[in-house]
Structure 1
């Protein structure tokens, strides 16, 4: 079962989190990325996320498998939205369950960094002034 999800509508984050509530896990770490109202000094009204879905799903799942092999974690799930999102909406969510917090924190950071670097997702910002612009999604911290 793939634990990397792409959604074109809001997702109930609580459901994703509950799936990681495992008896062998003593800790949980999550990251949630939202559409912010400014970027590089420009007022943003929303972002339109585009993806090459087949490759994005495959690469996202590979990242989760790498995290599981690299860190002492029980399980990890990640979700990235596609389509138009307004300011404040959740664009990406990652959850990691592990026996200990250090592994959960490390795996969570690894997953978001690798998603930004490797998964073919592009974003077109919509600005309050009416223009749009494509913004790099890779390795921005």
Structure 2
């Protein structure tokens, strides 16, 4: 299991290849990459993401361990960036490896739902009209109820 909270960009191809390598007993590898998206009505200059070092990694590691046990995963990868990011930049990546595709797919969705709503990150969108902290939406919260 690898959890990385980092400011630096990551190479999606390299991370995917490294994660997929060496899993001879796994029948499915699922990866998901989140990208900073622009605001629909007010173009965003940047998103600033804050966290508490140590606390954030510990919380994500606990959720990844839960996913590993719940979905019988062989491996888990979570990369999440912090700092100032711009629309179009990769913000996070989740990888899951399991013997069967259903477990790998469900575990990836479970982790993405958690990262979106419960991981201890604070996000602020900055646009030409000002800055606003991002709150979980009703849709984000509803997604958690399936787990």
- TM-score, structure 2 normalization: 0.85
Give the drift of 1:137.
Answer: 4.8
Contact residue 35 and residue 87 of structure 1 kept, 8 A:
yes
RMSD: 1.8
Match of 1:29 in 2: 30
| 5+ long unaligned stretches in structure 1 | none
Contact residue 74 and residue 98 of structure 2 kept, 8 A:
yes
Greater shift in the superposed pair: 4-13 or 114-123: 114-123
Q: Secondary structure at the match of 2:96?
A: strand
Contact residue 42 and residue 129 of structure 2 kept, 8 A:
no
Give the drift of 1:130.
Answer: 4.6
Structure 1 runs of 4+ with >4 Å offset? none
Match of 2:9 in 1: 10
Give the whole-Å Cα distance in 2 for the aligned partners of 1:43 and 1:121: 22
Give the whole-Å Cα distance in 2 for the aligned partners of 1:97 and 1:45: 35
Contact residue 16 and residue 77 of structure 1 kept, 8 A:
no
User: Aligned pair 1:56/2:59, yes or no?
Assistant: no
Give the drift of 1:112.
Answer: 1.1
Q: Secondary structure at the match of 1:65?
A: helix
User: Aligned pair 1:42/2:42, yes or no?
Assistant: yes
Greater shift in the superposed pair: 130-139 or 98-107: 130-139
Give the whole-Å Cα distance in 2 for the aligned partners of 1:61 and 1:18: 21
Give the whole-Å Cα distance in 2 for the aligned partners of 1:81 and 1:62: 18
Give the whole-Å Cα distance in 1 for the aligned partners of 2:74 and 2:31: 14
Match of 2:19 in 1: 20
| 5+ long unaligned stretches in structure 2 | none
What is the aligned residue count? 138
User: Aligned pair 1:67/2:67, yes or no?
Assistant: yes
Match of 1:110 in 2: 110
Give the drift of 1:27.
Answer: 1.1
Give the drift of 1:14.
Answer: 2.6
